[in-house]
Amino acid sequence: MIDLIKKLPKAELHLHIEGTLEPELMLELAQRNSIDIPYSTVEDIEKAYNFTDLQSFLDIYYEGASVLIKEEDFYSLTWEYLLKCKENNIVHTEIFFDPQTHTQRGIPFYTVIKGITEALNDAKDELGITSQLIMCFLRHLSQEECFKTLNEAIEFKHDIIGIGLDSSEIGNPPSKFKEVFKKAREEGFKIVAHAGEEADCSYIVEALDLLKVERIDHGVQVINSKSLIERLIKEQIPLTVCPNSNIELKVFESYKKHNIKELLDLGLNVTVNSDDPAYFKGYLNQNFINIYKNLNLSKEDIVKLVRNSFNASFIDEELKKIYLEKVDKILESF
Ligand code: ADE
Ligand code: ZN
């Protein structure tokens, strides 16, 4: 089964590019850009990755991102993730980026998007990996700040397929951003949002009703509302679940207590993703392996999760069909 997990082509739909910053690259960029970080070795950094909840992670994650200054830094960050995609057999990836993490430090929007998109274009040519970019608003900031960021993004519309919402969830509900998402929809962006990661089901309902999301990022708290489960099944709204993240951020006590298998068995449209793999002990295959080992997943479960990843993606129907055929081809040999 582990061999099957590794060999199946997969799509990743919930991945923060800033969350792929490996300790080695963090140290290298800190030195190259003369940025002070409170670590001098990889071991120092790994010791600090001991999270108690989402906020305890975000504090360290934003500090890590402070070493990203130049276009080439964003290129290196993205290229290293794309090499991991190759290793993990991720053939299509929909990447979140958080421009406000950088523009708030005085880095131009253009620097961020140019570095990332150059790497994505090279990956298409050299590695055969297709990709889309989703720009996230930081929900701990004001809606007014998000309007400014959206206005900057419009110029790069051709490079950005969608708009998402991330950062500190509790206390920053989707309703806080209703107007800016309305404008994003009018501009033709697809909409997703982190909801029901730590906060209750009302955040998922608001994301659906007020932001009009096409996918829910995380969404594992749906388990507490029977009516919402029924709605998500009926509408087949995809959930981009991130098992390693949920364990590292103490959303669940252990892999054995994770509810992804329960959600799948209920008929929800669930996918597996790595969220911030450099911080959460593993890339996509490791997420699959952890849930496979601890939750008694069958071959059918794995295949369903992989097929869901393509079906829930923003790629066109033609390419979707090509990828799903590649999945079938691998299955023939198992
Ligand atoms: N930013 C990066 N990872 C995140 C997560 N899991 N939840 C909210 N914001 C994030
Ligand atoms: Zn996330």
CATH code where residue 105 lies = 3.20.20.140
For residue range 53-103, list pLDDT tens digits in order. 999 999 999 999 999 999 999 999 999 999 999 999 999 999 999 999 999
Determine if ligand 1 sits within 6 Å of the CB of residue 166: yes
Question: How close is the Cα of 43 to the center of ligand 1, in Å?
Answer: 23
The half-sphere exposure of 160 on its side-chain side, counting CA atoms within 13 A, is 31
Confidence of residue 34 (pLDDT cuts 50, 70, 90): very high
Q: In this structure, which residue's CA is closest to atom 1 in ligand 1?
A: 167
Determine if ligand 1 sits within 6 Å of the CB of residue 20: no
Closest CA to 221 of 249, 200, 252, 244: 200
For residue range 135-189, list pLDDT tens digits in order. 999 999 999 999 999 999 999 999 999 999 999 999 999 999 999 999 999 999 9
Can you tell me the mean pLDDT for 265-271? 98
Catalytic residue among 22, 197, 198, 206: 197
pLDDT-above-90 percentage for the chain: 100
**Interhelix angle for 143-154 vs 178-186, to 10°?**
10
Q: Where do runs of H (alpha helix) occur along 8-70?
A: 23-32, 42-48, 54-65
pLDDT at 89: 98
For residue range 293-313, list pLDDT tens digits in order. 999 999 999 999 999 999 999
Range of the domain at 140: 2-332
Can you tell me the mean pLDDT for 115-122? 98
Determine if ligand 1 sits within 6 Å of the CB of residue 248: no
Nearest atom in ligand 1 to 16's CA: 2
Q: Which ligand is nearest to the CA of 13?
A: 2
| Number of domain units in the chain | 1
CA pair distance 50, 64, nearest whole angstrom: 14
Q: In this structure, which residue's CA is closest to atom 8 in ligand 1?
A: 167
Can you tell me the mean pLDDT for 122-127? 98
pLDDT at 20: 99
CA pair distance 181, 30, nearest whole angstrom: 35
Query: Structure tokens of 233?
Result: 């099944």
Contacts within 8 Å (CB) and 24+ apart, 326-330: 326/9, 326/91, 327/8, 327/9, 327/303, 330/4, 330/7, 330/8, 330/9
Confidence of residue 228 (pLDDT cuts 50, 70, 90): very high
Radius of gyration, CA atoms only, the chain: 19
Beginning with the edge strand found earlier in the chain, give each strand of the sheet holding 190-195 in spatial order: 10-16, 90-97, 130-138, 162-166, 190-195, 215-218, 239-241, 270-272
Query: Structure tokens of 49?
Result: 């990755």
pLDDT-above-70 percentage for the chain: 100
Confidence of residue 291 (pLDDT cuts 50, 70, 90): very high
pTM: 0.98
Determine if ligand 1 sits within 6 Å of the CB of residue 138: no
CA pair distance 321, 307, nearest whole angstrom: 10
pLDDT at 301: 98
Determine if ligand 1 sits within 6 Å of the CB of residue 245: yes
Confidence of residue 263 (pLDDT cuts 50, 70, 90): very high
CA pair distance 44, 141, nearest whole angstrom: 30
- Mean pLDDT of all residues in the chain? 98
pLDDT at 88: 98
Query: Structure tokens of 54?
Result: 């989402």
pLDDT at 315: 98
46 given a catalytic annotation: no
Question: How close is the Cα of 26 to the center of ligand 2, in Å?
Answer: 20
